[in-house]
Amino acid sequence: MLKVICFCAVLLTMPSWGAQKEIIGQTAQLSVEEVGLIYDARMDTGAANTSLHAIDLEIEGGSAAKMKDNIGKTLWFTTQNEAGEARRLSAKIIQVSTVKNSQGRETRYMVSLNVGFDGKERQVKVNLRDRSHMDYRLLVGRNWLKDHYIVDVAEKQLIGPVATINIVEAGLGYKTRIDTGAVENSLHAVDLKIEGGVEDMEKNVGKMIAFTTENEQGERQRVRSRIVETSLIRNAQGSEIRYMVELNVGEPGKEYKTKVNLRDRSKMTNKLLIGRNWLQGHYMVDVSR
């Protein structure tokens, strides 16, 4: 099947909130200012509110029969992080919340605490519960994330505009251009030979192809792979059809299989170009690196 790829200059108008939100992974080391401890916190977009491990709850002056009648009173509690560091502190009860989960329903006291990265905390409502049997003593809910963070559960790694990238099948490392404007990866390849090949490129899909590749240091290797499809590339020079193969491509020790189109890049500075089909879901590009 012939896939058509167009390289176009497109002006993207981003929503105003896009520039304001930061990306955060599924876990992060966050502090609670009033406690003075650092927690290994879990980001939970399924939870409406943030939850902190708390035990030995004691209300100054005694507790009322109904939890909601304790709103406005001072609550003392002990909290502990994953490192075993414990603190006892007090806070005013500002609300009670009913939480539904797989165990049923439970009502928790809520207090206002400053939660965030050390030195950059901000105030948020936090419900208190015994989380001693859980992996994370601080769970961060939507009330802390909203309008400030986008959660990246893939925990993508950062990569610069140029990186050393290996191709396992070639046994070579390339000084690679990382190009978010390119849909596909492209590898320098010459002397292409197709087993049982015919003139019609589309009819060669599925056949084995051998080619010679070379990195920026002049190291050469002959590689054999199977043609998985053809791709029509349109750029400033016109258009051309290229064969695509699947190769294991990545940073040393982090290679994974991806599609790569083959072309003569001998006149280009970088013999391997990485496009969005390799980056997507794995990397974010920081051009200042």
pLDDT given for residue 16 in this prediction: 41
Question: Which runs of E-coded beta strand occur in 44-85?
Answer: 50-53, 55-59, 74-80
Kindly report, residue by residue over 125-183, the tens digit of the pLDDT: 999 999 999 989 999 999 999 989 888 776 678 899 999 999 999 999 999 999 988 88
Kindly report, residue by residue over 169-219, the tens digit of the pLDDT: 999 999 999 998 888 999 999 999 999 999 999 999 999 999 999 999 999
CATH number of 2-9+157-285: 2.40.70.10
Q: Which residues of 66-101 are buried (b: 16+ CB within 10 A; e: fewer)?
A: ebeebeeeebebebbbbeeeeeebebebeebbebee
Q: Are strands 74-80 and 86-101 parallel, antiparallel or unpaired?
A: antiparallel
pLDDT given for residue 234 in this prediction: 78
CA angle 201–206–209, rounded 5-degree value: 70
**Model pTM score:** 0.57
- pLDDT at residue 7 tops 50: no
- Other C-beta atoms closer than 10 Å to the C-beta of 36 total 11
Kindly report, residue by residue over 267-285, the tens digit of the pLDDT: 999 999 999 999 988 888 8
- pLDDT at residue 13 tops 60: no
CATH number of 27-152: 2.40.70.10
Q: How many angstroms separate the Cα of 195 from the Cα of each of 14, 210, 226, 260?
A: 48, 8, 10, 19
Kindly report, residue by residue over 233-280, the tens digit of the pLDDT: 876 667 899 999 999 999 999 999 999 999 999 999 999 999 999 998
Residue 73 DSSP class: S
- Name the band, by pLDDT with cuts 50, 70 and 90, for residue 22: confident
Q: What is the 3-state secondary structure (H, E, C) of 216-283?
A: CCCCEEEEEEEEEEEEEEEECCEEEEEEEEEEEEECCCCCEEEEEEEECCCCCCCCEEECHHHHCCCE
Domain boundaries, the chain: 2-9+157-285, 27-152
Tell me if residue 108 falls in helix, strand or coil: strand
pLDDT given for residue 4 in this prediction: 52
Can you tell me the distance from the alpha carbon of 196 to that of 24, in angstroms, rounded to the nearest whole number? 51
- At residue 17, what are phi and psi to the nearest 5 degrees? -75, -20
Cα diameter, the chain: 90
